[in-house]
Amino acid sequence: MPEPVTNKNAPIALLDSGAGGIGVLREVQKLLPREQLLYFGDSLHAPYGEKSTAEIRRLVLTAADRLLARAKALVLACNTATAVAAEQLRRRYPDRPIIGMEPALRPALSVGAHPTVLVLATAATLGQEKFARLRQKCEKSATVWALSAPGIVRLVEQGLADSPQMDAYLSTLFATLPTLPDAVVLGCTHFPFAQKSLRRVLGDLPFFDGAVGTAKELRRRLAAQHLLAPKDAAGSIMLRTSDPRSLPLFLRLYQQ
Ligand code: DGL
């Protein structure tokens, strides 16, 4: 069994299939400015959402093992990685905070009345038993539509988050909806980067994503395990990727 990391000065790792988790990184940095944050985007293998469960699990476990060799905690800044590999990782690293994400359907239903909610996520997230259970619980209080949107991930990875190509893709995707929903859950960390385009196509609907909630949960877990960086520590950010061509995109999205 791996050694527990009890060093408060060790970094916190964040993992995504590519650039999507940068939005989570930003929220974590705002909330925990004294921490050393090590971001890894597996751009070489993005998108995860269209791969088989076994393949995604293998990629996530491989990257997580490498990151947890030095990190005190891991944020799965990716709904897909969480849906597919969080349970295995928690079993493998029972003493380490492993923070995952799920489509923010519960928050969408707890804030105001939203009789119809559209969940956008990857096919892999929507196909997991975990999402079926969440959906079933929430369908007691709302009609839940779910759509996979692989084109958003691809366009964000190509640096086209706010572009005519994104508008065209979204217009086609939403043409299948019977009416406009009352709220939209962005259940993939790439999707908030397409929010301008989403608003142009869907109008000014309430959008929900899990970035802030994930940062708060991370802080809570670190505090509970006495793993928060010391008050005089200087925070830092390190961006890593399996495809160095993605670094300029990571930086641009971080600075946005
Ligand atoms: N950003 C990821 C998520 O939150 C997945 C995107 C992908 O690689 O398909 O689900």
Res 152 pLDDT > 70: yes
Q: What is the pLDDT of residue 5?
A: 60
Ligand 1: residues with CB < 6 A are 16-18, 20, 46-49, 78-80, 122, 125, 153, 188-190
Nearest CA to ligand 1 atom 8: 47
Give the global pTM: 0.96
DSSP string over the chain: -PPP---TTS-EEEEESSSTTHHHHHHHHHH-TTSEEEEEE-GGG---TTS-HHHHHHHHHHHHHHHHTT-SEEEE--HHHHHHHHHHHHHH-TTS-EE-----HHHHHHSS--SEEEEEE-HHHHTSHHHHHHHHHHTTTSEEEEEE-HHHHHHHHTT-SSSHHHHHHHHHHHTT-SS--SEEEE-STTGGGGHHHHHHHH-S--EE-SHHHHHHHHHHHHHHTT-SPPTTPPPEEEEEESSGGGHHHHHHHHH-
Instruction: Tell how far the Cα of 152 is from the centroid of ligand 1, in angstroms.
Output: 10
Active site residues: 78, 188
Q: What is the pLDDT of residue 113?
A: 83
Ligand 1 atom closest to Cα of 16? 1
| Average pLDDT along the chain | 95
pLDDT, tens digit (0-9, with 9 covering 90-100), for 10-49: 999 999 999 999 999 999 999 999 999 999 999 999 999 9
